[in-house]
Structure 1
Amino acid sequence: MTADLIEGLELRTAAPTDPTLLALATAQQAELAALYGDDQPQVALHPDITFILLLLDGTPVGCVGLQPISPGLGEIKRMYVEPSARGWGLSRILLEAVETQARRTGLTRLRLETGPQQHEALALYTNHGYTPTPPYPPFEHESASLCFAKDL
Structure 2
Amino acid sequence: MTVRLETGAGTGGPAVVTWVATGWDDPRVAALRALMDAEIGPRYAHPDGAPRSYPPAPSAGEVDVAWLALAGGEPAATASLRRLSVAGEPLRHEVKRVFVGPAHRRRGLAAQALRRVEGSARELGVRRLVLQTGDRQPEAIALYEREGWAPVPVYPPYDAVAHSRCFGKDFD
**What is the TM-score when the length of structure 2 is the normalising length?**
0.80
Distance in 2 separating the partners of 1:105 and 1:62: 22
Once the two structures are TM-superposed, the CA of residue 141 in structure 1 deviates from its matched residue by: 2.2
C-alpha deviation, 1:5, in angstroms:
3.5
The 10-residue stretch of structure 1 (24-33 or 68-77) with the greater mean CA deviation from structure 2:
68-77
The aligned residue for residue 32 of structure 1 is 40
Identity %: 34
Higher share of residues assigned strand: 2
Counterparts of residues 128-147 of structure 1 (less than 5 Å) = 128-147=147-166
**Cα RMSD (Å) of the superposition?**
2.0
Task: Determine which structure has more spread, i.e. the larger CA radius of gyration.
Answer: 2
Instruction: State whether structure 2 residue 96 is matched by structure 1 residue 67.
Output: no
- 8 Å CA contact retained: 1:133, 1:148: yes
Count of residue pairs the alignment pairs up: 151
- Structure 2 CA distance for aligned equivalents of residues 13 and 109 of structure 1: 21
SS in 1 for 2:96: strand
Question: For 1:58-110, what per-residue CA distance to the aligned partner results, in whole angstroms no more than 9, with x for missing partners?
Answer: 11011100012478841000111011211111111111111111101111101
How big is the shift at 1:122?
0.6
If the length of structure 1 is used for normalisation, what is the TM-score? 0.90
Q: Please show how residues 67-86 of structure 1 align to structure 2 within 5 Å.
A: 67-69=82-84, 73-86=92-105
Gaps of 5+ in 2: 8-14, 46-50
- Aligned pair 1:41/2:54, yes or no? yes
Please say if residues 21 and 53 of structure 1, whose CA atoms lie closer than 8 Å, have aligned partners that are also in contact. yes
Tell me which stretches of 4 or more aligned residues in structure 1 moved more than 6 Å.
Answer: none
Amino acid at match of 1:35: R
The alignment partner of 1:96 has SS state of: helix
